[in-house]
């Protein structure tokens, strides 16, 4: 196995070498390239390449699929930014802001088909299972986004419903990336399914950690302004957990939700979370899902070196709050 950073560099280079038509079609494809070149951790293609290497010592064979999974992820970002009316992402204007909503919709649609085409660059023998995995994770992502949009107007979201939502929005794509990489590496159907579980559990751990950092993280290392979720009354793990307790603190939180957005609201809500012990609960949940992710890898036929590589990946992704 290579170092994690070496897989992400491989992915980054392949993504940057994608060339698309220009000319009269500049308006369709320039936003695709712009979206793809936003950088970021390249987590999904990195995981896909790692899984292919772990099972088949063939990260190179998986490079198109790695680009495909990142293309899919960026398609969802283009459309999410239209739906959320977001103007900035990773320090740059979104496609929706730099061009317009119609361009973001149409270029996003194009990215979904381009992603499928990239995903199809696998051997005939695994074409169907790879595409079945790709399509079913896509459906789960849309379902997760639908649940998330529905949560905006609700205050009765249960923890189970929250977990169901992030399984779709975050877990399914990581699960799909790990499973597709495993399939390309020649893993058995059982091992590929376990790798799906690995990605899914990793995704849940990662999302809860991300929710934690949005309130209690360090603005310099987190990369986003702290308190954004609180100001948007977002149904995060923290909020859902705190509201579900049903004690006087939950009542206080419900009142705080009506405060206007601003540093005051962030301070009040953070304080309630701290009083309720939410930060420690978050960390325990992140640890629990990380353990489940590791257990899934251990249930495969992979050896110690590969297990260790995936353990490091979990650590890298969920260790930010420590």
Interaction site with a copy of itself (CB under 8 A): 24-25, 27-28, 79, 82-83, 101-102, 105-106, 108-110, 112-114, 116-117, 120, 124, 127-128, 131-132, 135, 138-139, 142-143, 145-147, 149-150, 161
> Of 20 and 252, which has the nearer Cβ to a copy of itself?
20
* CA–CA distance, 52 with 177 (Å, rounded to integer): 10
| Shortest Å, Cβ 87 to a copy of itself | 16
Q: Which of 203, 179, 176, 174 is nearest to 192 (CA)?
A: 179
A 10 A CB-CB count for 268 gives 16
> Of 64 and 109, which has the nearer Cβ to a copy of itself?
109
Can you name the residues that pair with 93 across neighbouring β-strands? 88
> Of 43 and 82, which has the nearer Cβ to a copy of itself?
82
Helices (runs of H) and strands (runs of E) counted in the chain: 17, 2
> Of 99 and 222, which has the nearer Cβ to a copy of itself?
99
CB within 8 Å of 53: residues ≥ 6 apart: 1, 2, 7, 59, 62, 181, 185
Longest CA–CA separation in the chain, Å: 62
Give whole-number Cα distances, 201 to 60, 173, 197, 292, 314, in Å: 26, 11, 6, 6, 10
Kindly state the helix (H) or strand (E) to which residue 301 belongs, with its residue range. none
| Shortest Å, Cβ 51 to a copy of itself | 22
> Of 106 and 226, which has the nearer Cβ to a copy of itself?
106
| Shortest Å, Cβ 27 to a copy of itself | 6
| Shortest Å, Cβ 24 to a copy of itself | 6
Can you name the residues that pair with 283 across neighbouring β-strands? none
Q: What's the chain's length in residues?
A: 322
User: Angle between the 26-36 and 101-119 helix axes, to the nearest 10 degrees?
Assistant: 70
| Shortest Å, Cβ 142 to a copy of itself | 5
Q: Tell me the three state secondary structure of residue 92.
A: strand
Q: Where are the beta strands (DSSP E) in the chain?
A: 88-89, 92-93
> Of 169 and 265, which has the nearer Cβ to a copy of itself?
169
> Of 24 and 304, which has the nearer Cβ to a copy of itself?
24
| Shortest Å, Cβ 9 to a copy of itself | 29
Cβ atoms 159, 278 nearer than 8 A: no
| Shortest Å, Cβ 220 to a copy of itself | 33
């Amino acid at each position: 196995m290579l170092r994690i950073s070496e897989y992400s560099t491989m992915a980054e280079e392949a993504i940057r070498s994608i060339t698309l038509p220009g000319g009269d079609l500049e308006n369709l494809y320039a936003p695709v390239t712009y979206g793809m070149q936003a950088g970021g951790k390249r987590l999904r293609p990195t995981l896909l390449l790692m899984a292919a290497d772990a099972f088949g010592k063939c990260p190179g064979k998986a490079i198109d699929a790695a680009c495909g999974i990142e293309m899919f992820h960026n398609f969802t970002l283009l459309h999410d930014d239209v739906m959320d009316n977001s103007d900035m992402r990773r320090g740059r204007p979104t496609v929706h802001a730099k061009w317009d909503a119609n361009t973001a919709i149409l270029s996003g649609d194009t990215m979904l088909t381009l992603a499928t085409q990239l995903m199809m660059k696998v051997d005939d023998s695994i074409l169907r299972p790879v595409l079945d995995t790709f399509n079913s994770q896509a459906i789960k992502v849309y379902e997760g986004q639908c649940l998330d949009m529905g949560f905006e107007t609700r205050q009765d979201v249960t923890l189970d419903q929250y977990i169901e939502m992030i399984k779709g929005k975050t877990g399914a794509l990581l699960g799909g990336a790990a499973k597709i990489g495993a399939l390309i590496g020649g893993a058995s159907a059982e091992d590929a399914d376990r790798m799906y579980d690995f990605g899914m559990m990793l995704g849940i751990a990662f999302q809860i950690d991300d929710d934690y950092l949005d309130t209690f993280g360090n603005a310099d290392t987190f990369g986003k302004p702290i308190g954004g979720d609180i100001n948007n009354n977002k149904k995060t793990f923290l909020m859902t957990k705190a509201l579900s307790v049903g004690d006087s603190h939950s009542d206080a939180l419900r009142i705080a939700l009506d405060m206007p957005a601003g540093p005051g609201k962030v301070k009040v809500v953070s304080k309630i979370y701290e009083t309720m012990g939410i930060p420690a609960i978050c960390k325990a949940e992140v640890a629990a899902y990380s353990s489940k992710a590791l257990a899934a890898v251990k249930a495969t036929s992979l050896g110690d070196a590969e297990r260790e590589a995936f353990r490091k990946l979990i650590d890298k992704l969920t260790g930010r709050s420590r």
